[in-house]
Amino acid sequence: MNNSIAFKTIVVKEIYRFVRIWPQTLLPPAITTALYFLIFGKLIGDRIGTVSGASYMDYIVPGIILMSVISHAYANVVSSFYSTKFQHNIEELLVAPVPNWVILGGYVGGGIARGLLVGVVVALISLIFSDIAVHNLAITLAIAVLTATVFSLAGFINAVFADSFDDISIIPNFVLTPLNYLGGVFYSVAMLPDVWQKISLANPILYMINAFRYGLIGVSDVDITLAFAITSGFILVMTLFSLFLLHKGIGIKN
Amino acid sequence: MNALSLRNLRKTYSNGFQALKGIDLDVEAGDFFALLGPNGAGKSTTIGIISSLINETSGSVSIFGHDLRQDRAKAKSCIGLVPQEVNFNQFETVKNILLNQAGYYGTPRKLALQRTEQCLKQMDLWDKRDTVSRRLSGGMKRRVMIARAMVHAPKLLILDEPTAGVDIEIRRSMWQMMREVNAQGTTIILTTHYLEEAESLCRNIAIINHGQIVEHSDMASLLARLHVDHFVLDLARPLQTTLAIEGYQIEQVGDKTLTVGVPKELGLNQLFNRLSEKNIEVISLKNKTNRLEQLFMDLIEAGPGGRDR
């Protein structure tokens, strides 16, 4: 059994899926983020001045890019895997000699691909409004890939437990979006009162956004090493949990 | 060598329902095997476990000598499954459905393309290769599922009611395709509610009821156990009096129609002789029920372990 062929088949199928429906997957983030840059960065940002030594526009660009990566990596896996369950074509994979780690890797690979592609689209749009010179390319790429991995895995776990299409929209609407906005996309946590600073530190997205911001413009509210450790820790725990779910067949087998 | 061996296979669902109560079953390589049973008997659970869609509670499954638990990849590589319900991606083209399935089995791209073309041509679907699958007719979707199951050249093909809901013309052409696939050496396990289909195609049979195998034999010896054949006779003229012939179970169902139970030891010739003596002219004759159907009903009504036909 050649697992690399099975892995490639799942990843290519996933990429083909979101590219085929690009008006639903790639166009909306381009429009939404262009509006963010225009309204928050340009119109309001000009009145705010600088944050941590960077112009407000430059300050929010990394957060908006990573917010798009997070939401689209998550959305890709949760919608694709749940649809696969819903239409019962998950059976194609369960009947075939595809190891669980290949199934997981394939879907997560698709989520990472969409998250990063959307990230690139948003980054290109940001160039219209800002002229950021990348501070550290390795950190920027590494944290983008790791973050996309975390939220692809989260999307996978959500899809495994989902019993209806409502179940795949609850987490993005009521958990991800608030955590994104409270993760320092538009502000520095240093601007918050003490107590809120401490509460914000419990939000993992804060670390990811700040690490990405450090990679792009060299500014961060948190320790970069800690940010990488937290992100990697999430990946490890969620990968093991996802493999456990697949092994037990929870949510996918009768 | 056995294509499939089940040993003491049990399945109890989380709600406490015991779907399989320890079944043993062997299917020889190259066989065309029927697995029959009424709704809820345990057929789908058995097939689900064999094809890894359902986790067994206990027992073992061996496919061409590979234990499904210990040697999972090799065991699964031998199987192709055609499920009851359409379960492919309805937004995918026919060709991509097969190519993806070949990819899941680790088939290199070049070989996958060759096998896809071969299977689609065999199922008479090559012209539809670029059609999005939701636009296909019901019969075509069934054939896509058979082509998909065969794309990795499985040694064991499991067909779970493959002709359910398709018209008689397509059903007959699918029978022919299944015969050809079996003739090429692929072992086939068929479940169906059309007992005529099982009688026509299969050489060996198992009947499952209430989670237990109640019959497991070859088709010919099973049918030989049927002592009485039932026929419907259409007469040229209405009967004037009630008809009775010793040894035959005769029932008048219309002015010119009779049903007759014909014991094997008496046969049809004797019946016709007796009818001629009474100046009764028969213009047509047909089987009242399919022979296997009659046996099936006897076995199911007798209950687990019952063979008192």
Mean pLDDT of chain B: 89
Residue B7 has pLDDT above 50, yes or no: yes
ipTM for this model: 0.89
Of these ranges, B177-181, B226-230, B303-307, the one predicted with the greatest mean pLDDT is B177-181
- Say what the pLDDT of residue B304 is: 55
Cβ-based interface (< 8 Å): residues of B facing A: 13, 48, 51-55, 72-77, 79, 81, 83, 85, 87-90, 96, 99-101, 103-109, 148, 152
Could you give the C-alpha distances from A166 to A77, A172, A174, B39, B211, in angstroms and in order? 15, 11, 12, 32, 36
Separation of alpha carbons A141 and A216, rounded Å: 10
Separation of alpha carbons B227 and B176, rounded Å: 30
Residues from chain B that touch A254, judged by Cβ atoms under 8 A, are 13, 48, 53-54
Please tell me whether residue A48 adopts helix, strand or coil conformation.
helix
CA B217 to chain centre: 14
Q: Which residue has the tokens 């093909």?
A: B157
CA angle A184, A188, A191 (to 5 degrees): 125
Cβ-based interface (< 8 Å): residues of A facing B: 1-3, 5-6, 8-10, 13, 84, 87-89, 91-99, 249, 253-254
Asked if B104 and A88 come within 8 Å (Cβ–Cβ), the reply is no
Q: What is the pLDDT of residues A112-121, one digit of tens each?
A: 999 999 999 9
Separation of alpha carbons A92 and A247, rounded Å: 16
Q: What is the pLDDT of residues B275-309, one digit of tens each?
A: 998 889 999 998 876 667 777 777 777 765 544 33
Residues B45 and B209: beta-carbon distance below 8 Å = no
Long-range contacts of B260-269 (CB under 8 A, 24+ apart): B260/B230, B260/B231, B260/B232, B260/B233, B261/B228, B261/B229, B261/B230, B262/B228, B262/B229, B262/B230, B262/B231, B263/B227, B263/B228, B264/B226, B264/B227, B264/B228, B264/B229, B268/B231
Asked if A95 and B52 come within 8 Å (Cβ–Cβ), the reply is yes
pTM score of the predicted model: 0.85
- The CATH classification number of B226-302 equals 3.30.70.1560
Residues from chain B that touch A79, judged by Cβ atoms under 8 A, are none
- Say what the pLDDT of residue A216 is: 95
Q: What is the pLDDT of residues B135-173, one digit of tens each?
A: 999 889 999 999 999 999 999 999 998 887 777 888 888
- Say what the pLDDT of residue A97 is: 95
By Cβ distance, the residue of A84, A88, A96 closest to B76 is A96
In this predicted model, which residue has the larger pLDDT, B243 or B4?
A: B4
Q: Specify the pairing of strand B257-263 against strand B249-254.
A: antiparallel
- Say what the pLDDT of residue B308 is: 38
For chain B, the farthest-separated pair of C-alpha atoms sits apart, in whole angstroms, at 75
Separation of alpha carbons A212 and A227, rounded Å: 10
- The CA distance from B77 to the nearest CA of chain A, in Å, is 6
- Say what the pLDDT of residue A254 is: 66
Residue spans of beta strands (DSSP E) within A24-120: 50-51, 54-55
Residues from chain A that touch B101, judged by Cβ atoms under 8 A, are 92, 96
Q: How confident is the model at residue B249 (pLDDT cuts 50, 70, 90)?
A: confident
Q: How confident is the model at residue B39 (pLDDT cuts 50, 70, 90)?
A: confident
User: Where exactly are the structural domains of chain A?
Assistant: 3-248
- Say what the pLDDT of residue B291 is: 67
Q: What percent of chain B has pLDDT over 90?
A: 58
Separation of alpha carbons B239 and B252, rounded Å: 9
Could you give the C-alpha distances from A174 to A36, A93, A102, A155, A161, in angstroms and in order? 20, 31, 30, 14, 16
Separation of alpha carbons B58 and B240, rounded Å: 64
Pull the structure tokens for residue B127.
Answer: 């012209």
Asked if A91 and B74 come within 8 Å (Cβ–Cβ), the reply is no
Q: What percent of chain A has pLDDT over 90?
A: 82
Pick the CATH number of B2-223 from 2.40.50.140, 3.30.1310.10, 2.60.40.10, 3.40.50.300: 3.40.50.300
Mean pLDDT, residues A11-30: 93
Mean pLDDT, residues B96-116: 96
Mean pLDDT, residues A46-60: 88
Q: What is the pLDDT of residues A168-214, one digit of tens each?
A: 999 999 999 999 889 999 999 988 989 999 999 999 999 999 999 99
Mean pLDDT, residues A19-32: 92
Mean pLDDT, residues A104-131: 95
Pull the structure tokens for residue A156.
Answer: 């996978």
Inter-chain CB pairs, A–B, below 8 Å: 81
Residues B38 and B300: beta-carbon distance below 8 Å = yes
User: Where exactly are the structural domains of chain B?
Assistant: 2-223, 226-302
- Say what the pLDDT of residue B219 is: 85
- Say what the pLDDT of residue B309 is: 36
Q: What is the pLDDT of residues A77-90, one digit of tens each?
A: 999 999 999 999 99
CA angle B254, B260, B266 (to 5 degrees): 155
Separation of alpha carbons A48 and B260, rounded Å: 98
